[in-house]
């Protein structure tokens, strides 16, 4: 696990959430708890920082 935000990483799905979708579900499995952050990002967002 990292010590600060510079040690962060992100995961991006192969397909985006449908824009007209009123409700969307996804599931993750956290195998090593640390400072977790979950968010949405644009297609070209950097993957070496926290999302959002």
Q: Name, in order, each residue with C-beta under 8 angstroms of 30's C-beta and a sequence gap of 6 or more.
A: 36
Structure confidence at residue 7 as a pLDDT band (50, 70, 90):
low
Cα–Cα distance measured from residue 31 to residue 36, given in angstroms and rounded to the nearest whole number? 11
Cα–Cα distance measured from residue 45 to residue 41, given in angstroms and rounded to the nearest whole number? 6
Cα–Cα distance measured from residue 28 to residue 32, given in angstroms and rounded to the nearest whole number? 12
Predicted local confidence at residue 51, as pLDDT: 65
Express each pLDDT in 24-52 by its tens digit. Answer: 787 878 777 666 667 777 778 777 776 66
Cα–Cα distance measured from residue 31 to residue 21, given in angstroms and rounded to the nearest whole number? 29
Predicted local confidence at residue 43, as pLDDT: 78
Predicted local confidence at residue 13, as pLDDT: 78
């Amino acid at each position: 696990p990292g010590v600060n935000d510079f040690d962060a990483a992100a995961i991006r799905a192969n397909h985006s959430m449908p824009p007209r979708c009123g409700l969307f579900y996804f599931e993750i499995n956290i195998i090593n708890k640390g400072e977790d952050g979950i968010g949405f990002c644009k297609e070209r967002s950097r993957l070496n920082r926290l999302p959002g």
